[in-house]
Amino acid sequence: MERVEELLVSLIAPPNHQCYLCDREWPTAEDGLCDDCRRALKLAISPAPPVGLDGLSVGIQYCDALSSVFYRFKNMERRDYAPFLAQFISIPEEWNAELLLPVPLHWWREYRRTYNQSYLLSEYVSSRFGIPICPDLLVRIRHTPQQKMRSGKQRRNNRRLKGAFRAAPECAGRSIVLIDDVITSGTTLSECARALKKAGALHVYAACVACSTR
């Protein structure tokens, strides 16, 4: 009898899961958030696309709670954050996107980290929007320092990113969407777009989870 009651309770009450943002055990909904965090998250107003891009789509505004989520996702092997974060990425239909391209890491960083977080996001975006991923069309040929500790002005002046990417000739004539987790200065996306357009890409867009205001 107890079992039947337990079963009934489990059917009526939503299961408790940890909220992705605040880590509380909470009856979370499909989006992985508790009610408080859902209220606190702000949808982003997409900023103007960085130089060289034909469009930019951003899901949510960066906030303190997200910083630890991104840190764990990128540096602590928390690949399980990918579907949670990818739900905030959207691809406008009018882009007529043909390919998704995760912003590449330098091979050495990817080797150290064992995965590219933008690729993990792309997998979920690809299955939701039915657009294939072609990660091999763009490579990062230069190892550049991580940007998170730099100020916006320094980032904009980050000359080291110039020529850091190389695109394959198969990009020619295609409409491509770069996928990244957070957009800060947009320098990295601009450099990717420059390499892709040099290789003949027709349109280059970017879709990100969050943008951080400066």
Closest distance of CB 84 from Zn ion, Å = 12
Of 45, 40, 47, 87, nearest to 66 (Cα)?
40
Nearer Cβ to Zn ion (7/29): 29
Closest distance of CB 61 from Zn ion, Å = 16
**What is the contact surface with Zn ion in residues (CB under 5 A)?**
19, 21-22, 34, 37
Nearer Cβ to Zn ion (37/189): 37
Residues facing residue 207 across a β-bridge: 57, 179
CB 144 within 8 A of CB 164: yes
Closest distance of CB 32 from Zn ion, Å = 9
CB 189 within 8 A of CB 180: yes
Closest distance of CB 29 from Zn ion, Å = 11
d(CA 36, CA 214): 25
Residue written as tokens 């009610």?
A: 35
Nearer Cβ to Zn ion (66/91): 66
Closest distance of CB 19 from Zn ion, Å = 3
CB 63 within 8 A of CB 41: yes
Residue written as tokens 């995760």?
A: 102
Q: How many helices (H) and strands (E) in the chain?
A: 8, 8
Q: How far is CA 48 from CA 181, 205, 213, in A?
A: 17, 12, 12
Nearer Cβ to Zn ion (33/182): 33
Nearer Cβ to Zn ion (84/165): 84
